[in-house]
Every structure is written in C-alpha cells, then in structure tokens.
Chain A
Amino acid sequence: MEKGKGVLGAGRRWAVDFSDNSTAPSSRDIPDPPGFTRASVDQDDSAVSRQKKDAEANWKAQKAWEVAQAPFKNLLMMGFMMWMAGSTVHLFSIVFEPYKDNKVELLGPKLLFIALNLGGLALGVWKLNTLGLLPTHASDWVSSLSPAQEVEYSGGGIPL
C-alpha cells in the first residue's frame, strides 16, 4: 500500500497550475512556445472555470481508479508472500476520502477496492485453512469437552 500512499500524499503537497499561469499578465512578455495557439485558451471566464473544473474532475476520477486498482498490483506479490509463509492480514485504509466530490462517481472504484481486498482476505483465509488454523473440523470444538457425567454410580471390589 506504500505506493498508493505516496501518490496521494505527493499530489496534495504541491500543484502546478498550468492554466492559471497562461493568463497571468507577466507572462505575456514571453513568447509562446512554437506550436502553441493562444486561441484555445482565450475564452471567457465562465468557460475557462468550467473547463478547469472538468479537467480536475477527470483527473480525480482517473486517480481514483488508479488508487482503486493499486491493490491489484500488490495482490500478486501478496499472494506470493502468503503462499511462502505469511499469515498476517494487511489493513487497508479507506483511501477515497480525498477524491470525494459530488460529480465524481466513486461507487465503482469503491466496489472494486472492496472486491480486491476481499480477494486478498480470501487468500489469507485460504492460507490459514491450509495451515490448519481455522476451526473447521469437529476436532477443534471438542478438544476440551469435559467427559459426560454418568447417572449411575457403582463401587465395590474384593471384600476386605
């Protein structure tokens, strides 16, 4: 999960706003790089802000999917580790909080995330089962069962 965290954390610490920069008056002196057409940028304010928001939303959705898929990369590694020996269960934190937005549909990524984590869990359980650590046999439930009481009592022996 370290990788996923890295992506998120770095994304929030700094941001380069390319669109904002292009409208700043100070940058007018600098000639446009070759092949850059200003026409697409020079739009009215409302259009610019809407476009900006759309881009952000797209980016967020893309990121969300990325994050959701992140465990997938780990699954193989994890599976291998579990197959080798591990029977430790990883704790997945819910990581979709930063991408929460009215417009972004997060149900899909969440479901995938849950499904994949459940897959991991299933793998873990399967591993425990093969190790014989799951109480799935009758023997696991009767091993400390005290003997049944007998109703009758008899004593005696060879006369003294």
Chain B
Amino acid sequence: MAIGSFLILFILFFFSSLNPILSLYEDQVGLVDWHQQYLGKVKQAVFHTHKTGRKRVVVSTEENVVALLDLRQGEIFWRHVLGSNDVIDGIDIALGKYVITLSSGGSILRAWNLPDGQMVWESSLRGPKHSKSLLLVPTNLKIEKDNIVIIFSNGRLNAVSCIDGEVLWEKDFEGESLEVQQVIQPPGSNLIYVVGFASSSLFEMYQINALNGELLKHESAAFSGGFLGEVSPVFSETVVALDSTGLILLTVSFQNGMISFQQTPISNLVKDSFGPAKIIPSSVTGIFAIKMNAVTIVIRVTDENKLEVVEKTNHETSISDALPISEGQQAFALVQRAGPEIHLRVKLAHNWDDNLLKESVKMDQHRGLVHKIYINNYIRADKSYGFRALIVMEDHSLLLLQQGEIVWSREDGLASIIDVTTSELPVERDGVSVAKVEHNLFEWLKGHMLKLKGTLMLASPQDIAAIQSMRLKNSEKSKMTRDHNGFRKLLIVLTRAGKLFALHTGDGHIVWSYLLQSLQKSKVCQHPIGLNLYKWQVPHHHAMDENPSVLVIGKCGPSSDAPGALSFVDTYTGKELSSLSLVHSVALVIPLPYTDSTEQRLHLLIDADKHAHLYPKTPEAISIFEREFSNIYWYSVEDDNGIIKGHALRGKCTGEVADEVCFDTRELWSIVFPSESEKIIATVTRKLNEVVHTQAKVIADQEVMYKYISRNLLFVATVALKGSGEIGSVTPEESWLVAYLIDTVTGRILHRVTHHGSQGPVHAVFSENWVVYHYFNLKAHRYEMSVIEIYDQSRADNKDVWKLVLGKHNLTSPISLYSRPDVITKSQSYFFTHSVKTIAVTSTTKGITSKQLLIGTIGDQVLALEKRFLDPRRTVNPTQAEKEEGIIPLTDSLPIIPQSYVTHALRVEGLRGIITVPAKLESTTLVFAHGVDLFFTQLAPSRTYDSLTDDFNYALLLITIVALMAAIFLTWTLSERKELQENWR
C-alpha cells in the first residue's frame, strides 16, 4: 500500500513536470479547425488565356498579394503575399510566361514564373526622386531580340530586359517640379512619350527612343489655367486633362512634337453643371470618362479632337481597359449597377453605337456597386467573340461573369478584417434546428457500421478514409443552433469595405453578410471608415427572447473631428436594426460595465471636443448612468505628444450641444513623457470581458500572494525618440525602453522599469495581474520577452485562518482605487527566437484553466506558449516545493516546441490579429486568427480535463464492460451449479 501510494505520487509528479504536448494527429486536422485563403480587393488583373492550356488570370490586390487564379473555378494556383511595406504598383505578363510585378514605390521589379509562381529574377530600381510608378510591357518592342519592360519610377525611366531583369538603359527626369503623369508607347513604333506637368501650369512632353533611351525631343507649353489630377491618354499622341478649376477639359495633342491645347468647357458638353469634374483614366482609344459628383459622363474624342458626350448617367459606371481583339480593333466594357441587376455592355472603341454584348446579371444587393471590371475574350463555336468579365464589387468580392451568369465568386473582402466579435447562435427549439437528417436508414446504418469497424480497429484503409471524410463532414458541427459545449458560435467580422460577415465557427461558412449602408459613400459622408465592432446586446436570463445585436462604429473621413456613424445589426438575421448618423465625432468608445433591462450595454462615446455621449439614449440608460456617474472616468493616450490624460465626468453639456445624453468632462491628471527621451509606442489593457477566477495565488509552502487585479490598469511602453526607428538604426547606448503600469483612474504609476539598450516594436498582452511584452534587445542582438506580475501587498496580512473561515475578511468587498495600493511586482526576461506580429492570450469561461500565450510569428503562424514559461518566480534551481508547484527551472530563452504551433502546417498569410473566445466548456477556448487568410481552431491549454477527448479509447471501455459482464455471468452459473452439487451431496 505504501509503495503504491509512493508510486502514485511519483507518477503525478512526473506528469506535472512534463510539458503537455498540444500537437494533433494527422487525422485530427480539419476536425475542429478550418483555414480559408483570400486575396484582398483586386486592384489589377491580367488574363492569361492562350489558345491551349488552362485559362488563368493574374491579380494583384490591395493586400499586396499577387496570385494566379483558375478562371474556371476561381481557385488559387499560387499566391505571394508581399507584405505591407512592399506595395504593388503594377503587374503584367511578359513573354507569355512571366508575371512582372513592380512594387515598393517602383523600386523593386520582379518576374515570377507564371505556371508555378517561382521567382525568376528581381531587380532593384533606384531614382533621383519620388514619383508615380508606371509599368509598361510593350508587346513587340525588342532591343537585340530582347523583349523589354519599361518602368517609370522614382523620376527615372528604365528599360529592363524580360529575360534576366538587367537594366538596359535608364533616363532621369530631374526637372524640379516635374510630375510625370503618363508614359505612352505607341504600338508599332520605337518611341516612348513621357508626359507630365511642371510647376502646375506647364505641360511637358519628352519623346524618347525606346531602343537606347536617347532623348529625341523635349517640348513644353504653358497653360495659364493650370492642371488638376490625372490625364487620360485618348490617342497615342493625344491626352485629355482638366484645368485647375475642374470645369474645363483640355485636349492636349503633341503630334510631331508640337503641343497644342484645345479647351472645351464642360458646360458646353452638358447643360447643367454638377461641380468640379474628375477624370477617370482609361486606356481605350478615343474614349474617356469624367465624373462630377454622382454623374458619370462618357466622352468620345473624334479625329479632329472634338469632344462628344456619348453617355451621361447617374449610375456609378466602371470602364474596363481596352482589349485588342483583332487587328486595329479594341473592345472595352462598361458596367453599371441598377437595382438588383448589373448591366454589362461590351463595345468596340471606334463604334459606340453598337454593342458587342449586352447582358444583365442578377447581383446580390449586399455586394454593392461595381468598382472595377476586366474583360477577356474567347472565340465561340460559331467563330464569334464571346466575352468574360472579371468584376470587383464594392464589398471587395471578385466575380467572373460569362454568358449572363456568375461563374464563380470569391469573398475577398474577408482578407481585410478590421474588427471581430462573436455572437451566440439561437437556442435549439422545435423547428429551429437546421440539422440535416441522414438520407436514409441504410446510409445511417452503413455509417455506424463503419464507425464500429474503425473503433474495433477492423477497418481497411478505404474504410479509414471513408470514416475520416465522414468525420470532417459531420453535419453536427455546422448546425445553426447553440451546442452544449459552446463550440458553435458566430464570428461577426467587419471588413474594410464596410461589410459585416457572420462566419460559423464549425466550418467557417458565411451565415449572412450585410453591406452597411452607414459605411457606404453618400452625399453627407464622402469617405466613410469602419472602425470597431462592439457587442450591443447579449441577451441572457430575462431578456432571452431578444436577438443579440452588435454595434458598428464608423466615421466619415480620416480627420479626428469627422462625424461618426452608428449601426445596430441583429446577429441572428443579419439585418440592420437601426443606424444613426451622429452630429458629433467619435474619438473613443468606452463600453461601460452596465446593462439595461433588455441587456443592452451602455456605451460612452467621447468626441473630439471631449464631450461624452451616452448610448442607448433611453431614460433608463440615463438613470443607470447617473447612478454610477461619479465612478466613471476615462483616459486618452495622445501618442503624438506623449501625454496620457485622465478625465472625469462633470455634468450635463452646456452650450449649443446641449443634449440629454451629452456630458461635460474635466481633466483630472496627466502624465507627460519627456518628448526627447520617451515616445509612446505601445499601450495595452486587459480585455473587458476577461474572467478571473481567483485573486489569490497559492505558492509553495502554502503561502498566499494576492494578485493585484484591476480593470483599470494600463501598460505603456515608451522608447527613446532615437530608438523609435527600425531595429539596428541606433546603438544600444542611445536606445532604451521603459515599461509603465498606470492606474487609469488616479493616474498613479504603479510600476516603471527601464530596459537599457532595447528597442521596439513592442507587442504586449495584459491578462489577470500580468503583462507580457516582446521587444528587441540591441545588446544581445536578440528578441526578448519580459513578464511583469503585480501583487497586492496590502492584502498579504490576511493570514488569520479563523477570519477567513468565518468570512470576516474584507478581501471581496468593493474597493476604491483612491485607497492607497501597496503593490509589489515581480518580473523576469527571457530571450525569444522569433519576431512577433501579435500576441494574444487564451481565455476561458471561468478563468480556471491555465493560460497560454498565442504568438503570431513573423512566419504567419500561431505559436502557443504556456504562461508557466513566463513565470517571474522561476529560478535556476527550484526547491522541491517549487518543483511540486510546477515551476520550471530557469533558462535564458523560451523554448519553441514545434508541436505547439496551433496552425500546424498552415500559414495565416498576412497575420494581423488573434482573437480568443471562451467556449462553455471550461477547458476549451476558441481561437480565430485573421490576416489575408482566416484560421479557426479550438484549444485546450490544460487538455480537455472536463470531457472525454476524441481519441478516448471507447473500444477498450466497451471490451472491458463486455468482458466483465461475461465474467459475471460465467461465475454466477458456476456458483449456481456448485451450490446444487453441494446440496445433493
């Protein structure tokens, strides 16, 4: 007995000192996790449709993705994410086999092999000054049998060989104020025209020999009216521009080196004026379009440079680039949205009156307007031309239209998620369930037989594959109702396009999507920006019958005083409940910890003038708010000035903005960082909805440490002004990093620590009573992670057991932050191999389960690191008691266990954020990582201790039960028989 118990103790200790491995088995991939690949809003598309071979299209997007798509299904053949500091300026296909990309402000030119996406060559292009970047791939212009690519970037014109990326010649355009607008290469000639403006009223034209870069001609002509915006080439030696007032169209012709202007006031073309115009550049010969407010006017330029209006429409119109279809003929497409349909017309450039194609396609209202169109032709069976059109919609989705049908669509808006929140699914009731019932009894039986075979390990490889596909397609996980464990939820995401999507956590399918009207361009709001998502109403208990809803906050324009816009969306139905256009701006949104009787959360919106506005604007909300009025504070971090200010509420607004729900505020405190030595680079707070199970931490020898748990703690990291640049730009002596813990109610600095010779960027995460941050150590040339844990020393005296037993302590009574806190901090630093994009922490429903840090690595993967490794109480030689407590011996660097990559073999390209949501099961947390790709999985940081895991050996259990039953029956009959024999004796 004694030995047995010693053995048990030993085994327990052995397991507690092991690192629980979180890895998956191969057949578990895709059971709970899903991964979706996106591209972002397409900004350029080039078709690659040779007569033979697969039909493909190369696209570049605003997320800096260059990708090759299959034209049949819209699948990705290959994809490269170039990163946010390598913005793509232009793409094209050269020689029919290379994809040429110009990026990084025109300084990097790359060629990718078209079929497989391997990079063939890369050239770096420098130039004298910053300028527009233009990429031109002439079809039949050769220098010594070498096809060339012409690039204008950084004030320099380059001709680059297609074969190896070698710069063949270069020509600088160093004119002080010269702004090159267009580079035109008339097909069939060896000339290049470079046109631009200088000194805002001078039109400059350079004629260059394309073979050697020699300047043939340079002409300039002054136009007193000045120029505005872009130019649109209409013929090879004619461009159209606007004067500086935007009211007169200029046709600039530079034939034979002679520049001539021809002015046409827009009022001559259209009767009623709509204000200043804007040119929509197009590459179609003889056609261009201007836009005045909401009116689009398509104008044809005749051979005598006369302008003719061919179409004037109130509908938003997109014009495709010119598509050469046969010798000397160009086709182009116009697309407009009208109600539930989009109208597509394909015309020949020189023949406006006839349509090559006219189609109407039904289009979901929530895709918005057509932003871009790219066309491509194919030859039908009857030798006539057919056209397919790739269109980019307002919600950033990409669709292929052919023969009046949508062939495929991609929801590429999901590549640019701004904010994420979650919502519960409806409770399962009669008629609510959407679960699919098995087709018939036979299928059902077959499925269960297969499962049984698998359990008893009798399945053949084919059977195993069938079982696996059954597991993956389990209809249970994509049901539209709440489950017992809380694994099924809705992820509500707001995209940059101003569209809300609800994704199902089970398999990632889109449940509903809604293009928010309040975030669409309108007369009052020219540049709407979506900002944040908040949970507005989370019904439970008494308000169960209400549907949950989210609050979407946006504003008009990038300036700080732009008016805000609110929108309330029902998360069950995906319908907008109401929307508000605010008169005030939105600088800060503070969700308050109070809800009204319908479970609507009170939100405080702070405007640029430091007035606080309460939402919802109901008398009930106001009465709740006024009850807590004196306890509500707010702070603002002005990272440009290096000031953190704390404010309190003062009373109802006075002056012209007087409103029932408007409150004045007053400044309470401010922390001013010296601008030379400290610049704020990171701030982080605890998540509002984080649940902490206990305030006490029991350490070895039954000692207790009380965590300092406060919702009002702010972690601030500052660096020396010199050190705020890139890593390695300063010496260790010049750079330091200071970390602060600040109480945001009183402005008290609870802790301050300086890391000498360290530099940002700082990524931090705050949870319970600890903060973990990641930075670069210049002295050690390595990344470091530090942990600060903060403990309340004033509570440490509560050692009287009897007081605790009888509950006569004041440990749980409400405390005021104005009472003087007595805190101690413990901290430790470790080296960490990876650079980090983002850090998050797991959260569970009761906060009992141990925590894991989720680190978004530079390789776009998510690494789970146990918090135990970042425990400031780690020592080199922990005592026996500390070992039993689970303290790991101190090492100088944090281990990276390959199996603990949450994303296993996948990558979340362009990773931006990691969100964790507690499931109902305490052991489990749901993790959603988003960037260009989306990834979702479930994690159990301390393993699933509260439920049987998937790999539980049911077979063994079954066999044991059966064997026991058999044994019971056998022994029973034997004993019966024996008793009988005894009696007969």
Residue numbers of A with Cβ under 8 A of B are 84-86, 132, 135-160
Chain A residues within an 8 Å CB radius of B800: 138
In addition to A135-B805, A154-B632, 6 A-B residue pairs with Cβ atoms within 8 Å of each other are: A84-B1, A141-B805, A151-B631, A152-B712, A153-B712, A155-B590
Interchain nearest-CB distance for B809 vs A (Å): 8
- A155 and B1 in contact (CB under 8 A), knowing A145-B811, A147-B694, A147-B707? no
- A153 and B711 in contact (CB under 8 A), knowing A141-B805, A159-B560? yes
- B501 interfacial by beta-carbon distance below 8 Å: no
Instruction: Tell whether, in the assembled complex, residue A152 and residue B745 are in contact, meaning their CB atoms are under 8 Å apart.
Output: yes
For the complex, give the distance between the alpha carbons of A24 and B186 in Å. 150
28 contacts between A and B (CB under 8 A): A84-B1, A135-B805, A138-B702, A138-B798, A138-B800, A139-B698, A139-B704, A141-B805, A142-B704, A142-B811, A145-B811, A147-B707, A147-B709, A148-B812, A149-B815, A150-B815, A151-B816, A153-B632, A153-B745, A154-B744, A155-B688, A156-B637, A159-B560, A159-B587, A159-B638, A160-B531, A160-B587, A160-B589
The answer, among A135, A139, A144, A154, for a CB contact under 8 Å with B635, is: A154
- B804 interfacial by beta-carbon distance below 8 Å: yes
Chain A residues within an 8 Å CB radius of B588: 155-157, 159-160
Chain A residues within an 8 Å CB radius of B592: 153, 155
For the complex, give the distance between the alpha carbons of A59 and B932 in Å. 95
Interchain nearest-CB distance for B884 vs A (Å): 10
Instruction: Tell whether, in the assembled complex, residue A136 and residue B801 are in contact, meaning their CB atoms are under 8 Å apart.
Output: yes
- Majority-rule SS of B interface residues: mixed
- B579 interfacial by beta-carbon distance below 8 Å: no
Interchain nearest-CB distance for A94 vs B (Å): 28
- A141 and B804 in contact (CB under 8 A), knowing A150-B711, A153-B628, A156-B744? yes
Chain A residues within an 8 Å CB radius of B817: 150-152
Interchain nearest-CB distance for A131 vs B (Å): 10
For the complex, give the distance between the alpha carbons of A143 and B606 in Å. 39
Chain A residues within an 8 Å CB radius of B688: 155
Interchain nearest-CB distance for A109 vs B (Å): 32
Residue numbers of B with Cβ under 8 A of A are 1-2, 5-6, 531-532, 553, 555, 560, 586-593, 604, 606, 608, 628, 631-639, 646, 683, 685, 688, 692-696, 698, 702-704, 706-707, 709-712, 744-745, 798-801, 804-805, 811-818
Interchain nearest-CB distance for B586 vs A (Å): 6
Residue of A at shortest CB range from B688? A155
- A145 and B587 in contact (CB under 8 A), knowing A85-B2, A156-B744, A159-B560? no
Instruction: Tell whether, in the assembled complex, residue A142 and residue B798 are in contact, meaning their CB atoms are under 8 Å apart.
Output: yes
Instruction: Tell whether, in the assembled complex, residue A139 and residue B633 are in contact, meaning their CB atoms are under 8 Å apart.
Output: no
Interchain nearest-CB distance for B885 vs A (Å): 12
Instruction: Tell whether, in the assembled complex, residue B1 and residue A86 are in contact, meaning their CB atoms are under 8 Å apart.
Output: yes
Instruction: Tell whether, in the assembled complex, residue B633 and residue A147 are in contact, meaning their CB atoms are under 8 Å apart.
Output: no
The answer, among B555, B636, B698, B805, for a CB contact under 8 Å with A157, is: B636
Residue of A at shortest CB range from B590? A155
- A147 and B744 in contact (CB under 8 A), knowing A157-B636, A160-B589? no
Interchain nearest-CB distance for B641 vs A (Å): 12
- A154 and B704 in contact (CB under 8 A), knowing A139-B698, A146-B812? no
Instruction: Tell whether, in the assembled complex, residue A85 and residue B5 are in contact, meaning their CB atoms are under 8 Å apart.
Output: yes
Residue of A at shortest CB range from B800? A138
The answer, among B6, B555, B646, B696, for a CB contact under 8 Å with A160, is: B555
Interchain nearest-CB distance for B766 vs A (Å): 12
Instruction: Tell whether, in the assembled complex, residue A142 and residue B696 are in contact, meaning their CB atoms are under 8 Å apart.
Output: yes
Chain B residues within an 8 Å CB radius of A138: 702, 704, 798-801, 804
Chain B residues within an 8 Å CB radius of A135: 801, 805
- A154 and B683 in contact (CB under 8 A), knowing A141-B801, A148-B695? no
